[in-house]
Amino acid sequence: MAGDHDRPLAGRGRKAARATGRFIALAGLEPDYAITSSAIRARTTLALAMESGDWTCPVNETRELYHAGVADVLAVVAESPEADSSVMIVGHQPTWGGVVEALTGGATRMATGTLVGIDLRIDSWSSIRPGFGELAFVIPPRLLTDGNIQLG
């Protein structure tokens, strides 16, 4: 049996990734840059989203996001290219809920596959710090996959 890092994305996750990718494109939320955990299910989520939404961006795949803490995630994001104004990070719970809480100061329910947008009050990625963000949106996958929003 494969270890957790090599565990494939389940069918429900594949469906959510495709719907999320289409939503990102329709909403004009395509990132300039993406960082994903090296875990197979995180990499697959990003690849399916990009393919289904017909969008692309440079991708940094890193093991540093696997079993990472909030400080680790912020350190990885701080290394993002300064030319990119929007960065997507794809990783794992419970860390992602902690990242949202650290950046915005508020707890957010984070079901697997949830898409969260955070507006950051920073001049450069290297200055990312807890408390420097404002929650822009939270979209759980069930809104996109259970017939609530038709994405074609």
Interior/surface letters 58-87, b for 16+ CB within 10 angstroms, e for the rest: ebbebebbbebebebbbebbeebeeeeeeb
149/29 Cα distance (integer angstroms): 17
pLDDT tens for the chain, residues 1 to 152: 458 899 999 999 999 999 999 999 999 999 999 999 999 999 999 999 999 999 999 999 999 999 999 999 999 999 999 999 999 999 988 999 999 999 999 988 888 889 999 999 999 999 999 999 999 999 998 898 876 655 55
How many domains are contained in the chain?
Answer: 1
For residue 40, being part of any structural domain is answered with: yes
**pTM score, whole prediction:** 0.92
For residue 150, being part of any structural domain is answered with: no
DSSP codes, 37-76: ESSHHHHHHHHHHHHHHT----EEEEGGGTT--HHHHHHH
Q: Which domain holds residue 25?
A: 4-145
